[in-house]
Homo-oligomer: A and B are copies of this chain.
Amino acid sequence: MTLDERKKRILESIIKDYVESAEPVGSRAIVKKHDLRVSAATVRNEMADLEDMGYLEQPHTSAGRIPSESGFRYYVDCMMERENLVEDEVELLQKILKDNLQDWDEVIQSIGNFLSQVTRYTSFIIVPTVKFDEFKYIQLVPVEKGKAMVIVVTDTGVLMHRRIDIPQSVETKELQSINEVFNRLFARKKFAELRKTDLQSLRDELNQRKKVIDGILEAIENLTENTGEEKVVISGILNMLNEPEFKNLDKLKKILAILEEESVLKALLPEATGDTVDITIGRENRLDDAKEMSIVLAGYKIFGEVGRVGVIGPVRMEYWKAAGTVDSVRTIIDEVLKKHY
């Protein structure tokens, strides 16, 4: 269903005004403000048409119109032009990233802050579990009497560790030789090949240092099983409070409940689909409690896995800015990851 130019023009005017003011917009107002070359009465007729088509709705008879979710959807799909980050902003982000590059957690946090500050919405970043294929290196470090640390480095450069108990009698020398055995056995070993039976046979083989070996094997099993959940980082929740649609405490509570509970949030966010920016508007969301929110989301790649980054805000969202920003940020993340990891 395609609209004629004038209807498009009117729909756009209403959307822009409504997004800015959060108030229903009337015929007179847009004629004045957007210099449409027709009278308010004409606009009213067109607005009635747009309402029939489902793109506008009226909170009550004597109010102006507001865009319906379909209206936003039409605009986003057929009319919208993204506003990408301007050069200054890109440089700022790149600088921020460079300054924090050593610490991955910091990088994520910074991106989240940046995104929520630029868009004025709440941002989220999902960091996927980086699966690993191979053991790169295993090290056993004595920490204090009776305690040691098992350190595993994977081919993707992920560092994992577990504390284990060891018999007090074991010498550092001995640990060193156990170390070597492990490294010989595991080096370049595909993770997928490491089945429990393997671990078992290893256990038998090294039976004489049973206690220590058991501890290590258990730690490794534990590490490989529990490869860690996806991590979710939220930033700029405070921005939600500025949206007039969430002045209502009950609504606010529902929204914060979603944002505070990782599992719920994960259930809400759509999968990342390829290289596109995905926009979910209002009732399109999977959760009923999120039916007044919209999500703008893009995927980024990290070690073969796909992470997600985006913003979440009211249906009355500056989609053009949000989509452009999220897309730019995704691109920058991809670049930085490619370069440095």
Q: Which residues of A contact B (CB under 8 A)?
A: 102, 136-137, 139, 141-144, 147, 149, 151, 153, 155, 157, 159, 161-163, 222, 237-238, 241, 247, 249, 252-253, 256-257, 260, 340-341
Bound-state Cα–Cα, A198 to B148, Å:
29
Q: A137-B141, A157-B147 are in contact. Are A253 and B237 (CB under 8 A)?
A: no
Q: Which 3 A-B pairs have the closest CB atoms?
A: A143-B157, A137-B141, A141-B153
In contact, A249 and B253 (Cβ under 8 angstroms)? no
This protein's copies in its complex: 2
CA distance A313 to B315 in the complex (A): 32
Which residue of B is nearest A153, CB measured? B141
A257 to B237, CA, bound (A): 9
CB distance from A251 to the nearest CB of B (A): 11
B143 touches A149 (CB 8 A): no
Asked if residues B157 and A159 are in contact (CB atoms below 8 Å), the reply is no
Contact check, A241 vs B249: say whether CB atoms are below 8 A apart. Answer: yes
Q: In the complex, given contacts A136-B141, A143-B153, A149-B157, what are 6 additional A-B residue pairs having Cβ atoms less than 8 angstroms apart?
A: A102-B222, A141-B153, A143-B157, A151-B153, A238-B253, A238-B256
Complex contacts, A144 vs chain B, CB 8 Å: 155, 157
